[in-house]
């Protein structure tokens, strides 16, 4: 199930062999396992049938042993479940699903609040509603397997991956979290907090990092100096973040670089004339400017650099911005 639609359906069969009147059950399993589609684990479209104590016990129920020779055409079941991971097979039945069955699967997914999931149904056939055959939903899986739909044992594969991506990232949405990066010498934390407040007030679930900690949607998730790239990456990976505001300090940039590949907005508050020098090999104002300029150089082509026009060193960074530039400066007010 993807969104409110059934995009693929498979009928699963338990691991089994069919007698030919010549080979033992054990030999038939060996023959089936020679199929190049069968391998170990989930690396192939099918998994080799296990011949273990569970299989032997299932044979006993059918009056057979591993050395029995089943009659030609007799179906021999080797397990009670139909999982692909234990050697089961899958047949695509997407085109055969009755609309009422699809509707029940959609309702099951919506009942537990999942936009993408697998719904397991036990029934005799997909051709009739569940109610008419005493069928029902037995499981809603938040992490469904895809290989039974991508590479079914029988029938054509379904592009479930495409449907999932289209659901997660609608047309026109590149899936990126907009980033605003704030750097400079003084005023970074205050500016970061102000921008985060404005974003939150506009209805965006905002992630923020600064020298006081990390906040996601108004809740503090970390404390201490979190102005480095590690904290930025943690925010970008958080599922509840619509936009991010990062304070960018010199130490993190020197150690690991930025925590993002590009930002929509870069804000440079100031460089000053001597603050924050003598640390991390930054001994001159020019050195500090080269370091802070990295943020401006990583503005998106459609983004903006917001630069302090009253600081000549900051204003000169405009030439390195791939996007557009907004200059600002504080003006005096007299009464």
Give the model's pLDDT for residue 319. 95
CB 158 within 8 A of CB 150: yes
Give the model's pLDDT for residue 255. 84
The mean-pLDDT minimum among 113-117, 235-239, 255-259 falls in: 255-259
Any domain includes 174: no
Count of the separate structural domains present in the chain = 2
Same domain, 21 and 162: yes
Q: Which of 148, 168, 188 is the last residue of a domain?
A: 168
Same domain, 140 and 195: no
Name which of 139, 126, 138, 137 is nearest 100 in CA terms. 126
Same domain, 149 and 16: yes
pLDDT at 186 over 70: yes
Same domain, 43 and 147: yes
Q: State the alpha helices, DSSP H only, in the chain.
A: 25-32, 53-61, 99-111, 147-150, 160-168, 188-201, 229-236, 250-256, 285-297, 312-315
Any domain includes 159: yes
Give the model's pLDDT for residue 170. 78
What is the DSSP-derived secondary structure letter of residue 134? Answer: T
pLDDT at 196 over 70: yes
Backbone φ and ψ for 123, nearest 5 degrees, come out as -165, 170
Q: Which of 149, 168, 187 is the last residue of a domain?
A: 168
CA 189 to mean position of chain CA atoms = 31
Give the model's pLDDT for residue 141. 93
Q: Which of 168, 192, 220 is the last residue of a domain?
A: 168
Task: Read off the pLDDT band of 189 (50, 70, 90).
Answer: very high
Backbone φ and ψ for 43, nearest 5 degrees, come out as -75, -15
Domain residues for 67?
10-168
- Greatest distance between any 2 Cα atoms in the chain: 106
Question: Residues in the chain, how many?
Answer: 335
pLDDT at 323 over 90: yes
Same domain, 98 and 229: no
pLDDT at 265 over 70: yes
pLDDT, averaged across the chain: 90
Task: Read off the pLDDT band of 181 (50, 70, 90).
Answer: very high
CB 241 within 8 A of CB 268: no
Tokens of 16: 């089994």
Same domain, 157 and 38: yes
Give the model's pLDDT for residue 278. 59
Any domain includes 5: no
Same domain, 63 and 155: yes
Same domain, 183 and 83: no
Any domain includes 245: yes
State the first-to-last Cα distance of the chain, in angstroms, to the nearest integer: 66
d(CA 220, CA 310): 34
Same domain, 153 and 187: no
Same domain, 157 and 240: no
d(CA 317, CA 178): 22
Expressed in percent and rounded to 5, the helix, strand and coil fractions of the chain are 30, 25, 45
Same domain, 43 and 91: yes
Any domain includes 145: yes
CATH number of 198's domain: 3.40.1190.10
Same domain, 143 and 112: yes
Average pLDDT over residues 31-42: 85
Give the model's pLDDT for residue 87. 85
Any domain includes 29: yes
- Please write the tens of the pLDDT for every residue from 87-139: 888 899 999 999 999 999 999 999 999 999 999 999 999 999 999 999 999 99
Any domain includes 4: no
Any domain includes 19: yes
d(CA 150, CA 279): 55
């Amino acid at each position: 199930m993807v969104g409110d639609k059934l995009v693929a359906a498979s009928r699963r069969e338990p691991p089994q062999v069919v007698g030919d009147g010549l080979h033992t059950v054990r030999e038939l399993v060996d023959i089936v396992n020679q199929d190049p589609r069968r391998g170990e684990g989930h690396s192939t479209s099918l998994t080799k049938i296990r011949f273990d104590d569970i299989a032997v016990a299932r044979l006993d129920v059918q009056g057979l042993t591993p050395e029995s020779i089943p009659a030609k055409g007799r179906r021999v079941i080797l397990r009670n479940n139909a999982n692909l991971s234990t050697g089961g097979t899958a047949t695509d039945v997407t085109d055969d699903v009755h609309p009422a069955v699809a509707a029940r699967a959609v309702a099951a997914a919506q009942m537990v609040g999942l936009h993408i999931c697998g719904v397991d149904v036990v029934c005799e056939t997909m051709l009739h509603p569940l109610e008419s055959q005493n069928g029902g939903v037995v499981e809603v899986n938040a992490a469904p397997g895809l290989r039974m739909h991508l590479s079914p044992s029988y029938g054509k594969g379904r592009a479930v991956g495409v449907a999932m991506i289209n659901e997660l990232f609608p047309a026109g949405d590149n899936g990126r979290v907009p980033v605003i990066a704030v750097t400079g010498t003084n005023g970074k934390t205050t500016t970061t907090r102000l921008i985060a407040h404005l974003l939150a007030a506009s209805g965006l679930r905002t992630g923020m990092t600064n020298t006081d900690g990390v906040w996601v949607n108004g809740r503090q998730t970390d404390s201490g100096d979190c102005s480095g790239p590690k904290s930025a990456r943690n925010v970008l990976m958080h599922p509840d973040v619509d936009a991010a505001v990062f304070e960018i300090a010199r130490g993190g940039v020197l150690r690991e670089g930025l925590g993002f590949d590009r930002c929509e907005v870069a804000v440079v508050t100031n460089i000053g004339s001597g603050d924050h020098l003598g640390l991390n090999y930054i001994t001159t104002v020019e050195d500090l400017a080269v370091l802070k300029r990295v943020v401006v150089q990583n503005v998106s082509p459609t983004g903006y650099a917001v630069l302090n026009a009253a600081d000549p060193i900051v204003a000169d960074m405009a030439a390195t911005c791939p996007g557009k530039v907004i200059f600002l400066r504080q003006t005096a007010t007299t009464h």
